[in-house]
């Protein structure tokens, strides 16, 4: 018996899903272009881009995103390396810790941060710099499941032990091994983890909103309550940003290190 | 026993060795302690204290407050509905990708978009739905203009959704918006499980004279149910903990636990700060059960997928 090439229900559900994906996107795009009555224009985008508050909040979030990515890599890469090399028995515990941010809703988490760090002995929220420090730490925690998973997957695909022994027999110390041997082998994993972390920080609303810092998320919310067309333009822009991040991940994983992403 | 060294010697070098073995993970644990353990335990302790700092269970008992019970019931309702819808829809889409033999280009787009949309949430998601099916949205406008003259010659527009009681700014709207990231999440989780269904099983079942329905009922479903249930729990959790989309979509007018916590942080709407901590603790308990259940079921699935 020959199976039919296409299956009606397969096509049906696939088409329905495509509609669910694209109709809101198209609707938003269409809406964002109709600020001037009766004609298609980029007016809403011009207004958004010319808004000094947009520039300020976007730059703030980009800066926080970069800081979060750097701190995340500095903490999670050596830790994961160390666990693979010396403490494999610790891995289940670390794995559970890294999924905790999924269990604690962000709104609950920020509640805890405020209760802990807005009073002595750990008072941090008094100055903008202290608050930024707190928010950056919070972002590292929130993106931890993604970053840790990315590094973990990358680390699993390479033979950490053999690479380390080879490096050590050539006289490298552990820092040299980590920077010169492990890091280059992990660049695909690190880049994809970084991009997801970055995208998370850019879109994040709650931490900055409740700690009163001028990030992109709170800016979008405030625009949403007062304007009609600009929010649509902002949505398309933030969606494009996510697309770019995802596109880069796809592009780099197709290169010579492609076996790393398929190694999972 | 391999560790039969002299006890005194091994103890001394043991501590030193231990320190050397553990030093690499110390920064991680210090960071986790400051930014995760400290805030969480602080909240936990707060739930069992009165405003003077004495131990009490009043806050937990205080959760019986009708306003709080209502928030929990609306949150549970929204999460259960959206996770069910996401589960069923996502399952059929994953079916289309794997067994349903959708064209290759369609499968590629579906998989790529699932990865993208599963991470698409927060404020932009709310904006996208407002621009599409909001009061002045794109689809709303299209549907509104589909009009037919009725027998008396008066135009009637049966698809004017806002005239027919639809509103985006409530539970139904929230369900529509959450489904946008819920069903792709289901697709991502369940596709590997569907791919793991062996062709031989279907053939064996066909050869024994079973119908398609019988195959799904007696062969495929008993294998798949842990993955489906696990995915459902994860979907439930992601809806239950969501705040930003609901806040941006309804302006905080929908009565969810997350929204109530947000209001409590801003201005102690419950009139007792410690009751807020108990409210948050309740959420974490529900989330722990949910994610814990998911993890257990996930392990079970991983085992048979490997074999």
Positive/negative CA dihedral, A42, A44, A49, A51: positive
Q: What percent of chain B has pLDDT over 90?
A: 39
A70: number of Cβ within 10 Å: 13
Tell which wins on pLDDT, B148 or B37. Answer: B37
The yes-or-no verdict on residue B129 having pLDDT over 90 is yes
CB–CB of A104 and B287 under 8 A?
yes
The CA–CA distances, whole Å, from A185 to A156, A158, A188, B89 equal 11, 7, 8, 39
Alpha-carbon gap, residue B285 to B48, rounded angstroms: 15
**pLDDT bracket for residue B5 (50, 70, 90):** very low
CB–CB of A111 and B280 under 8 A?
yes
Query: Which A residues 197-226 touch B at CB under 8 Å?
Result: 199-200, 203-206, 210, 217, 220-221, 224-225
Residue A102 has a pLDDT of 86
Domains of chain A: 44-262 (1.10.3720.10)
**pLDDT bracket for residue B86 (50, 70, 90):** very high
Tell which wins on pLDDT, B156 or A223. Answer: A223
Residues facing B270 on adjacent strands: none
The yes-or-no verdict on residue B8 having pLDDT over 60 is no
The yes-or-no verdict on residue B17 having pLDDT over 90 is no
The beta-carbon neighbor of A220 closest among B89, B119, B123 is B123
Alpha-carbon gap, residue A152 to A72, rounded angstroms: 13
| pLDDT, mean over chain B | 86
Residues 6+ apart with CB under 8 A from A40: A33, A34
Number of residue pairs across A and B with CB atoms under 8 Å? 245
Mutate to test the interface with B, among A7, A9, A11, A14 (most CBs of B within 10 A): A14
Decide: A62 and A139 in contact? Cβ < 8 Å: no
Is A220 exposed, middle or buried (CB count within 10 Å of its CB: 0-12, 13-18, 19+)?
Answer: buried
Instruction: State the DSSP code for B307.
Output: -
Mutate to test the interface with A, among B89, B125, B128 (most CBs of A within 10 A): B128
Residue B179: name the closest of B55, B49, B86, B281 by CA: B86
The beta-carbon neighbor of B265 closest among A101, A103, A210 is A210
Residues facing B149 on adjacent strands: B155
A185: number of Cβ within 10 Å: 18
CB–CB of A228 and B132 under 8 A?
no
Instruction: State the DSSP code for A112.
Output: H
Alpha-carbon gap, residue A204 to A216, rounded angstroms: 8
The beta-carbon neighbor of B116 closest among A26, A238, A242 is A242
Alpha-carbon gap, residue A13 to B97, rounded angstroms: 9
Residue A4 has a pLDDT of 54
Q: Which helix (H) or strand (E) holds B155?
A: strand B155-156
CA distance B6 to chain A (A): 24
CB–CB of B106 and A18 under 8 A?
yes
Residue B256 has a pLDDT of 93
Alpha-carbon gap, residue A15 to B106, rounded angstroms: 8
Tell which wins on pLDDT, A260 or B47. Answer: B47
Residues facing B156 on adjacent strands: B148
A33 contacts in chain B (CB < 8 Å): none
Mutate to test the interface with A, among B19, B29, B39, B181 (most CBs of A within 10 A): B39
> What b/e string do you get for B170-186 counting C-beta neighbours within 10 Å, with b at 16 or more?
ebebbbbbbbbbbbbbb
B138 touches chain A (CB under 8 A): yes
Instruction: State the DSSP code for B209.
Output: T
Averaged in consecutive runs of 10 residues, what is the pLDDT profile of chain A (264 residues)?
65 93 92 87 92 94 96 94 90 89 92 90 84 95 92 89 89 86 88 88 91 93 89 90 77 50 29
Q: Which helix (H) or strand (E) holds A245?
A: helix A229-253
Alpha-carbon gap, residue B167 to B144, rounded angstroms: 14
Alpha-carbon gap, residue B218 to B234, rounded angstroms: 25
- Name the region of B101 (left: φ>0; alpha: ψ -120 to 50; beta: rest): left
B17 touches chain A (CB under 8 A): no
Decide: B218 and B210 in contact? Cβ < 8 Å: yes
Q: Which two tokens stand for residue B1?
A: 């026993």
Question: Dihedral, CA atoms, B71, B74, B78, B83, nearest 10 degrees?
Answer: 80
Residue B251 has a pLDDT of 84
Q: Which of A92-106, B139-153, B213-227, B283-297 has the lowest mean pLDDT?
A: B139-153
Q: How many residues are there in chain A? A: 264
CATH of B57-306, one of 3.90.1150.10, 1.10.3720.10, 3.40.228.10, 1.10.10.10: 1.10.3720.10
- Tens-place pLDDT, residues B254-281: 889 999 999 999 988 888 888 999 999 9
Q: Which two tokens stand for residue B195?
A: 């791919």
B32 touches chain A (CB under 8 A): yes
Residues 6+ apart with CB under 8 A from B96: A9, A10, A11, A12, A13, A14, A17, B102, B106, B107, B110
Q: What percent of chain B has pLDDT over 70?
A: 94
ipTM of the complex model? 0.87
Decide: B118 and B212 in contact? Cβ < 8 Å: no
Query: Which of helix, strand or coil describes residue B50?
Result: coil
CA B17 to chain CA centroid, nearest Å: 43
């Amino acid at each position: 018996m020959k199976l039919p090439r296409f299956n009606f229900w397969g096509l049906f559900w696939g088409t329905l899903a495509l509609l669910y994906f694209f109709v809101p996107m198209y609707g938003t795009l269409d809406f964002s272009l109709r600020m001037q009555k009766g004609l298609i224009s980029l007016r809403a985008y011009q207004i958004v881009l010319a808004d000094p508050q947009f520039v300020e909040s976007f730059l703030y979030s980009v800066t926080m995103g970069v800081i979060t990515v750097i701190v995340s890599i500095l903490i999670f890469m050596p830790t994961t390396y160390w666990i693979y090399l010396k403490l494999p028995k610790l891995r289940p515990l670390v794995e559970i810790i890294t999924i905790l941010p999924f269990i604690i809703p962000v709104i609950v988490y920020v509640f805890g941060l405020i209760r802990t760090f807005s009073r002595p002995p750990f008072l941090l929220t008094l100055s903008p710099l202290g608050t930024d420090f707190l928010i950056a730490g919070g972002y590292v925690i929130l993106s931890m499941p993604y970053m840790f998973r990315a590094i973990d997957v990358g680390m699993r695909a390479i033979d950490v032990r053999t690479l380390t022994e080879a490096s050590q027999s050539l006289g490298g110390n552990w820092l040299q091994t980590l920077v010169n041997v492990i890091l280059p082998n992990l660049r695909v994993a690190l880049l994809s983890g970084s991009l997801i972390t970055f995208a998370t920080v850019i879109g994040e609303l709650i931490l900055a909103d409740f700690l009163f810092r001028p990030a992109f998320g709170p800016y979008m919310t405030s625009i949403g309550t007062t304007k009609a067309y600009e929010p649509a333009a902002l949505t398309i822009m933030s969606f494009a940003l996510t697309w770019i991040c995802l596109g880069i991940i796809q592009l780099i994983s197709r290169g010579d290190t492609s076996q790393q992403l398929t190694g999972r | 026993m391999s560790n039969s060294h002299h006890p005194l010697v091994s103890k001394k070098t043991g501590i030193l060795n231990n320190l050397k073995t553990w030093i690499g993970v110390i920064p991680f644990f210090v960071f986790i302690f400051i930014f995760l353990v400290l805030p969480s335990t602080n909240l936990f302790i707060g739930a069992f204290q009165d405003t003077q700092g004495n131990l009490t269970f009043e806050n937990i008992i205080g959760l019986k407050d009708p306003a709080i019970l209502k928030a929990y019931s609306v949150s549970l309702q929204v999460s259960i509905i959206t996770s069910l819808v996401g589960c069923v829809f996502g399952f059929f889409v994953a079916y289309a990708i794997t067994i349903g033999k959708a064209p290759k280009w369609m499968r590629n787009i579906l998989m790529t978009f699932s990865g993208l949309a599963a991470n698409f949430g927060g404020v932009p998601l709310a904006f996208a739905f407002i621009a599409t099916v909001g009061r002045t949205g794109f689809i709303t406008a299209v549907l509104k203009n589909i009009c037919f003259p009725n027998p008396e010659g008066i135009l009637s527009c049966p698809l004017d959704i806002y005239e027919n009681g639809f509103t985006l700014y409530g539970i139904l709207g929230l369900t529509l918006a959450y489904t946008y990231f819920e069903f792709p999440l289901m697709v991502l989780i369940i596709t590997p499980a569907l791919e793991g269904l062996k062709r031989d099983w279907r053939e064996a079942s066909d050869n024994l004279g079973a119908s398609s329905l019988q195959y799904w009922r007696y062969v495929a479903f008993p294998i798949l149910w842990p993955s489906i249930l696990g995915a459902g729990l994860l979907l439930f959790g992601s809806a239950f903990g969501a705040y930003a989309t609901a806040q941006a979509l309804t302006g905080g007018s929908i009565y969810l636990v997350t929204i109530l916590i947000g209001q409590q942080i801003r201005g102690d709407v419950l009139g007792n700060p410690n009751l807020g901590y108990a409210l948050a603790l309740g959420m974490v308990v529900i989330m722990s059960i949910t994610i814990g259940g998911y993890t257990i079921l996930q392990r079970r699935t991983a085992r048979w997928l490997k074999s």
